[in-house]
Amino acid sequence: MTMLQRTSSIDPVKLDRLAQVAVKIGLQLQAGQDLFLTAPVAALPLVRRIVEHAYRAGAGLVTPILSDEEITLARYRFGPDASFDRAPNWLYEGVAKAFVGNTARLAIVGDNPMLLAQEDPAKVSRANKANSVAYQPALEKIAGFDINWNIVAYPGTAWAREVFPGDEEDVAVTKLADAIFAASRVDTDDPIAAWAAHNAALRARTAWLNGQRFQALHFSGPGTDLMVGLADDHEWQGGASTAKNGITCNPNIPTEEVFTTPHARRVSGHVRSTKPLSYQGTLIDEIAVRFEEGRIVEAKAARGAEVLNKVLDTDEGARRLGEVALVPNSSPISKSGILFYNTLFDENASCHIALGQCYSKCFLDGGKLTPEEIAAKGGNKSFIHIDWMIGSGEIDIDGVHADGRRVPVFRRGEWA
């Protein structure tokens, strides 16, 4: 496999627009601000465009780190067993230090989602846990929204083959590229204006939800009867948000969700996934879990159950929720009918919940709260944050007030 895939099937104008949107909307990178960027080596064409637009925007120093699928596989095939309990702490400590110094963060996703599907699940789990622990100092800066950060996607060949297995390679890449461009709103002549309108629509949703001050959300539908208590003084967010450094950014491109923090100790009932979860090279499908007092006490999956259960044992917070998000079934990503095998996209096709770490920004005055105050209000702490989809056209959601009064929020997968 050559280092770079052919890019003839990827529209260069739209790719350049995506780079501009990542810098100007996703990050809203400031003059003089440094940027730390990670990407698969296959995404080098997009990396080059982003670096150019970052410097045009006045970036101080752009530092990219590239990963490679063959190098990743070499570790699993030839690395000593003890290496799977290690991670480059020195690197993540440096990243955390960069974030303290107001460096912006951009991640390009585009790897083969099934890359590790044939590798030893125990090794995959151990490596993920070691990585999660080592990354914690940096993750805290992201989860705490200390800095402006953003994730965008590039249509890698191996990823395209997974999403469109029946097509020739060039056709699959073109289809995936077009789907990414459409979802990222760069298939229009003025993507900046399109994002401004979209952010305004999401702000209207969050304003309504914040005005309601629900105590809980009740999800009901096939295989689902779930009461998600909401954290005390929770705040709904969606679209563009202002980081603690004062910069308003769009962390996820694309995004269709409005989200907040559940109460880690007030979730009860059962729920099943409505789409597969692609996690670190393993597909986990038909997840079904039961909560008691906020904690998952029973978990099953038709596929990937071993990996799921290892994830749930990562730490005490891994069996509790850190996020609940609302996405209408009619979202553009849902209507595309494509299963992307990538959380950045699939979570924007469906209502979802996330195991693990909460976002401190999803509290009133969240930027001023200590970790202890966040925990007291019901915020969860964990080394992980993993979103999985529970919404569909058959799911109803009621907002529940403190006095028990119910307000329809979703009916049959749409805003009520």
- The answer to whether residue 336 scores a pLDDT higher than 80 is yes
Q: What SS3 class is residue 149?
A: strand
Confidence of residue 211 (pLDDT cuts 50, 70, 90): very high
Residues sharing a CB contact under 8 Å with residue 387, sequence separation 6 or more, in sequence order: 323, 325, 343, 347, 352, 353, 354
- The radius of gyration of the chain's CA atoms, rounded to the nearest angstrom, is 20
- The answer to whether residue 273 scores a pLDDT higher than 60 is yes
- The answer to whether residue 14 scores a pLDDT higher than 70 is yes
Give the model's pLDDT for residue 197: 96
Using alpha carbons, select from 325, 302, 317 the residue that is nearest to residue 382: 317
What is the average pLDDT across 324-341?
A: 93
Q: Express each pLDDT in 148-201 by its tens digit.
A: 999 999 999 999 999 999 999 999 999 999 999 999 999 999 999 999 999 999
Give the model's pLDDT for residue 3: 44
Q: Express each pLDDT in 368-379 by its tens digit.
A: 899 999 999 999
- The answer to whether residue 219 scores a pLDDT higher than 50 is yes
Using alpha carbons, select from 351, 232, 346, 201 the residue that is nearest to residue 279: 346
Tell me how many helices (H) and strands (E) the chain has. 12, 21
Q: Express each pLDDT in 93-145 by its tens digit.
A: 999 999 999 999 999 999 998 898 889 988 988 998 899 899 999 998 998 89
Query: What does the domain layout of the chain look like in residue ranges?
Result: 12-183, 211-242+256-415
Taking residue 293's Cβ as centre, other Cβ atoms within 10 Å add up to 11
What is the average pLDDT across 217-236?
A: 98
Domain 12-183: CATH superfamily is: Thermophilic metalloprotease (M29) (3.40.1830.10)
Using alpha carbons, select from 361, 143, 326 the residue that is nearest to residue 234: 361
What whole-number percentage of the chain has pLDDT above 70? Answer: 98
196, 372 contact by CB (below 8 A): no
What is the average pLDDT across 78-95?
A: 97
Confidence of residue 6 (pLDDT cuts 50, 70, 90): low
Give the model's pLDDT for residue 295: 98
Confidence of residue 319 (pLDDT cuts 50, 70, 90): very high
Beta bridge pairs of residue 411? 414
Q: What SS3 class is residue 268?
A: strand
Residues sharing a CB contact under 8 Å with residue 378, sequence separation 6 or more, in sequence order: 229, 230, 231, 232, 234, 261, 262, 263, 264, 265, 266
Average pLDDT score, the chain: 94
- The answer to whether residue 340 scores a pLDDT higher than 50 is yes
What is the average pLDDT across 296-319?
A: 94
Using alpha carbons, select from 389, 397, 413, 394 the residue that is nearest to residue 274: 389
Q: Which amino acid is at 70?
A: E
Q: Which amino acid is at 299?
A: A
Least confident of 172-181, 203-212, 274-283, 310-319: 274-283
